[in-house]
Amino acid sequence: MRTTPVVAPGDAVSTADSVDRGPRTPRRGVAKHGKVTPWLFLAPYLLLFGGFVILPVVLGGWISLHRWDYTLPGKPFVGLENYQALLDPGSTIYETFWSSMQATGIFTVASVPLLLVLPLVVALVMNQRFPGRNLFRAVYFAPYVLGVAVVAVVWRYLLDANIGLINYYAGLLGLPDDTAWTTSTPAAWVALVGVTVWWTLGYNSVIYLAALQDIPRELYEAARVDGASAWQQFVNVTLPGLRPVLAFVTMITIIASANMFGQSYLITQGGPGRETRTAIYQIAETGLRNFQMGSAAAMSYVLTLFLMVLSVGIFWLFRERKG
């Protein structure tokens, strides 16, 4: 890395000053900057942060207490009515919302274990020195940089029931060659989970790999000296060493899976029927296509509540255990 020459000397007075103090003994008590300086540095960020993160979190709650139709002039206050409707089996929104929550639940339960375990296996294989390692790592990571739109459009083609590559090769292997991957369940779930694993496996692998490389070699050597088998080393050295990162990866994977949108939007269009329409998909359609924003905001608060409870659960699960 190139270093750049440090700033030119200032005026004579301050130079003399610094000579007096001696360059190596900065005085702690001396103000290094004016009182407003830190806030000037923070201002641009805080403007964006306040306007598009803090304000919306609060505003969302406010909207959820109104019958807020973007296209109509009146937005009457309705109290908790939007929430009550979500909990009332007799309401029209009940069925659509909870079936979308169920879709999100199915997808999360099916995808998260795979997205935690498979990348770990790949990272363990990659956690040794061998020629070409960085090339393989880059290849496995590549789909992630493409983004969900490209990935989903490509896989929509590969999964085409009639002319798709997947059914063609399945047929060659003697498996059913007419699976309706995008228009029938459970095949659609297999497709959505499979595509997601293909897309994000490299991402989790890279995080695991960095954590594996941080585990001190001496721990493995000590375990070997004690006669530990490969499996015992994995259980007693690798897993404990990975614990904080496992918690982190579990968390981001659950949040990502619970926010699954593009795969369903582009591959199955939420179908068959609305079976693969996830909660976030339903929220976006309710709020931003049908403009029932009060109801949609209430839905997003309920979904967030679920995710928060889940997060607390995960923290508890991965907490530091004594003894």
According to CB under 8 A, which residues from 279 to 318 bind other proteins?
Answer: 279-280, 283-284, 287-289, 293, 296-297, 300-301, 303-304, 307, 311
Question: Tokens 């909207």 sit at which residue?
Answer: 63
Cβ of residue 113: shortest distance to other proteins, in angstroms?
19
With binding defined as CB under 8 A, does residue 16 bind other proteins?
no
With binding defined as CB under 8 A, does residue 97 bind other proteins?
no
Name the residue nearer to other proteins (CB basis): 35 or 89: 35
Region from 18-26, 79-87, 92-100, 106-114 binding other proteins, contact rule CB under 8 A? 18-26
The dihedral of CA 308, 309, 312, 318: what is its sign?
A: negative
CA distance 314 to 323: 20
Of the candidates 82, 110, 164, 277, which one interacts with other proteins according to CB under 8 A? 164
3-state secondary structure 126-171: HCCCCCCHHHHHHHHHHHHHHHHHHHHHHHHHHCCCCCCHHHHHHH
Of the candidates 53, 222, 230, 317, which one interacts with other proteins according to CB under 8 A? 53
User: What is the Cα 243 distance to its own chain's centre?
Assistant: 18
Taken as a whole, the chain contains a residue count of 323
Region from 88-96, 106-114, 147-155, 183-191 binding other proteins, contact rule CB under 8 A? 147-155
Q: Which residues pair with 66 in a beta bridge?
A: 77
Name the residue nearer to other proteins (CB basis): 101 or 110: 101
With binding defined as CB under 8 A, does residue 168 bind other proteins?
yes
Of the candidates 29, 52, 79, 322, which one interacts with other proteins according to CB under 8 A? 52
CA distance 46 to 75: 30
Show the tokens assigned to 83. Answer: 């929430």
Helices H / strands E in the chain, number of each: 14, 0
Question: Cis omega (within 30 of 0) on the bond before 143?
Answer: no
Of the candidates 116, 243, 259, 274, which one interacts with other proteins according to CB under 8 A? 259
Site for other proteins in 101-140 (CB under 8 A): 122, 125, 130, 132, 136-140
Cβ of residue 86: shortest distance to other proteins, in angstroms?
14
- The answer to whether the beta carbons of residues 101 and 242 sit under 8 Å apart is no
Of the candidates 23, 73, 79, 174, which one interacts with other proteins according to CB under 8 A? 23
Site for other proteins in 191-250 (CB under 8 A): 198, 202-203, 206-211, 214, 244-245, 247-249
